[in-house]
């Protein structure tokens, strides 16, 4: 396929050429991968660089970068090697002669250790820079050690929203080693944010008045930010919240189950500090969400089916798609066999890797079951369909938005329709409200926990 770049892609490519250490904050669907590969090809042709390391989410490392290089005619001479698999397989891949070496972010710590902190690459591409937003993570610490040894660093991610600016410090440090936002996350937080604490633990940071512009101006010389709405005329994305109603008997059983679990939780965890409490609350919400989905695990991880209301509603949507492929995002492993059993007669597959991606885009799959954490980043799935069903949404806004963008992106020919199955009167409604309120996961869990405690304590 011949690459005919849009003007904004030309701008992005020239940005990479002109800025040895830079960030491309481009919204989903703007073609970050092909723009980056094209700029790297130019730099190779000019003898500026010869070996490139790409660090990406696992599924993106497995498919996206090699697929993009194969897809475009001007990139056919670019030799791409995947540094994935067992340690022996990774070492064999690194020994091959290539231009681009792509590895998963979970292997990055190992890679830095293998080379003693000095990477033998001219350029480093960090795909999904937000993966390195935690200054406490091992992958960030490894990046901090390795970055000085690389001549060129390119950080790729979406445009940061105001409530995500607190996470920008570590991401920028990966690019400029603290030159613009400072050497310390503590100093960055104290300078630009108002912190909110619970039991002396920071649970939320809000940007101080006027500081959002200051932060953006500080990084503007090396970070190019583009929003899709300013450059793309994408088909419409239509979201339907589909209320699923339980029978009176099942609803009564759910309410009893919820009350018991919430009061048990309050008794066992009520005095925990906020950060630990949020983790504990996630376990409680997961148990309630399982019930809303129709089945729960017991302590021995045995599955107990409760109802089929969501599955029946999903089957109706698949039937109404009238032959069009449907991408279904599930939450729990026990969702898979229950959905598969109900959709007999359809070609149903669980996403596992590159073959499934190719078959989906080729129209060979009626229903593709995918977990948002495995498919949310970087995969181009827009050729395979335009219907999405969330069997359960979860609480993570970034994953939700990124997962929807697998279909709602450049190259999509049809309006994308998203169905969210929300079990009325259950914790599903709290999760849906959290996504719409655009709060962080931790704060959403704590807010919902407080709501449920008040609800059942007053009864």
| SS3 assignment for the chain | CCCCCCHHHHHHHHHHHHCCEEEEEECCCCCHHHHHHHHHHHHHHCCCCCCEEEEECHHHHHCHHHHHHHHCHHHCCCCEEEECCCHHHHHHHHHCCCCEEEEEHHHHHHHHHHCCCCCCCCEEEEECHHHHCCCCCHHHHHHHHHHHHCCEEEEEECCCCHHHHHHHHHHHHHHHCCCCCCCCHHHHHHHHEEEEEECCEEEEEEECCCHHHHHHHHHCCCEEEECHHHHCCCCCEEEEEEEECCCHHHHHHHHHHHHHHHHHHHHHHCCCCHHHHHHHHHHHHHHHHHHHHCEEECCCCCEEECCCHHHHHHHHHHHHCCCCCEEEECCCCCHHHHHHHHCCCCCEEECCCHHHHHHHHCCCCCEEEECHHHHCCCCCCCCCCCEEEECCCCCCHHHHHHHHCCCCCCCCCCCEEEEEEEECCCHHHHHHHHHHHCCCHHHHHHHHHHHHHHHHHCC
Banded pLDDT at 162 (limits 50, 70, 90):
low
* pLDDT score recorded for residue 270: 65
Those residues whose C-beta lies under 8 Å from the C-beta of residue 188, and which sit 6 or more positions away, are 169, 181, 182
Is a pLDDT exceeding 90 seen at residue 447?
A: no
Question: For residue 205, is pLDDT > 90?
Answer: no
Which pLDDT score, from 0 to 100, does residue 347 have?
A: 94
Q: Which range, 130-134, 176-180, 401-405, has the best average confidence (pLDDT)? A: 176-180
The per-residue pLDDT for 361 is: 94
pLDDT in tens, 261-317: 888 888 777 666 555 676 778 888 889 999 999 999 888 889 999 999 999 989 989
Q: How confident is the model at residue 434 (pLDDT cuts 50, 70, 90)?
A: confident
Q: Residue 201: is its pLDDT beyond 80?
A: no
Residue 163, pLDDT > 60, answer no
**Residue of 449 and 211 predicted with greater confidence:** 211
| Residue in the block written with tokens 């497995």 | 62
pTM over 0.75: no
pLDDT of residue 343: 95
Q: Tell me the pLDDT tens digit for each residue of 414-423.
A: 889 999 999 9
pLDDT at 21 over 70: yes
Residue 6: pLDDT above 60?
yes
pLDDT tier at 168, thresholds 50, 70, 90: very high
**Average pLDDT value for residue range 318-341:** 92
| pLDDT value of position 121 | 97
Average pLDDT over the chain reads 89
How confident is the model at residue 23, as a pLDDT? 96
pLDDT (mean) for 194-223: 86
List, by residue range, all CATH 3.40.50.10810 domains of the chain: 7-231
pLDDT band of residue 97 (cuts 50, 70, 90) is very high
Average of per-residue pLDDT across 11-40? 92
> Cα–Cα distances in Å, from 301 out to 281, 287, 304, 392?
19, 12, 9, 20
For 9-23, what is the mean pLDDT? 97
Residue span(s) of the chain under CATH 3.40.50.300 come to 237-457
User: Which CATH entry fits the domain spanning 7-231: 3.20.20.70, 3.40.50.10810, 3.20.20.120, 1.20.200.10?
Assistant: 3.40.50.10810
Please say if the pLDDT value at position 57 is more than 90. Answer: no
Q: What is the mean pLDDT of residues 319-336?
A: 91
The whole-number average pLDDT for the span 123-143 is: 93
Q: pLDDT value at position 276?
A: 65
- Assign domain 237-457 to its CATH architecture: 3-Layer(aba) Sandwich (3.40)
pLDDT band at 28 (very low <50, low <70, confident <90, very high): low
């Amino acid at each position: 396929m011949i690459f005919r770049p849009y003007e904004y892609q030309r701008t992005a490519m020239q940005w990479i050429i002109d800025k040895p250490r830079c960030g491309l904050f481009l919204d989903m669907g703007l073609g970050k991968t092909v723009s980056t590969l094209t700029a790297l090809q130019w730099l190779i042709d000019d003898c500026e660089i010869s070996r490139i390391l790409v660090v990406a989410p696992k599924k993106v490392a497995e498919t996206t970068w090699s697929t993009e290089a194969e897809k475009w005619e001007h990139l056919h001479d670019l030799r791409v090697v995947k540094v994935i698999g067992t340690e022996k397989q990774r070492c064999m891949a690194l020994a091959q002669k290539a231009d681009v070496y792509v590895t998963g972010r979970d292997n990055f710590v190992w890679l830095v250790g293998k080379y003693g902190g000095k990477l033998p690459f001219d350029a480093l591409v960090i795909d999904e820079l937000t993966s390195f937003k935690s200054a406490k993570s091992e992958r960030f610490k490894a990046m901090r050690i390795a970055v000085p040894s690389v001549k060129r660093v390119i950080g790729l991610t979406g445009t940061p929203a105001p409530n995500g600016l607190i996470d920008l410090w570590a991401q920028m440090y990966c690019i400029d080693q603290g030159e613009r936002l400072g050497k310390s996350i503590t100093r960055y937080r104290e300078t630009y944010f108002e912190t909110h604490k619970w039991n002396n633990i920071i649970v939320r940071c809000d940007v101080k008045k006027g500081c959002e512009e200051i932060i953006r101006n500080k990084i503007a010389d090396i970070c190019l930010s583009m929003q899709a709405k300013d450059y793309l005329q994408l088909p419409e994305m239509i979201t339907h919240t589909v209320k699923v109603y339980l029978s009176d008997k099942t609803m009564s059983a759910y309410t009893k189950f919820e009350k018991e679990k919430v009061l048990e939780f309050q008794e066992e965890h009520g005095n925990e500090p906020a950060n630990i409490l949020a983790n504990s609350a996630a376990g409680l919400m997961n148990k309630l969400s399982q019930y809303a989905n129709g089945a729960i695990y017991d302590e021995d991880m045995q599955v107990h089916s409760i109802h089929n209301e969501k599955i029946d509603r999903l089957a109706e949507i698949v039937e109404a798609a009238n032959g069009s492929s449907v991408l279904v995002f599930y939450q729990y492993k026990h969702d898979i066999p229950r959905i598969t059993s109900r959709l007999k007669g359809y070609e149903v597959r669980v996403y596992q890797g590159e073959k499934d991606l190719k078959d989906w885009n080729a129209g060979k799959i009626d229903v593709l079951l995918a977990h948002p954490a495995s498919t949310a980043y970087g995969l181009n799935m827009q050729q395979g369909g335009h219907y999405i069903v969330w069997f359960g949404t979860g609480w993570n806004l970034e994953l939700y938005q990124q997962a929807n963008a697998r279909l709602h992106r450049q190259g999509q020919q049809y309006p994308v329709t998203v169905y969210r199955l929300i079990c009325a009167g259950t914790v599903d409604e709290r999760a849906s409200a959290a996504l719409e309120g655009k709060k962080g996961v931790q704060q959403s869990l704590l807010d919902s926990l407080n709501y449920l405690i008040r609800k059942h304590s007053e009864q």
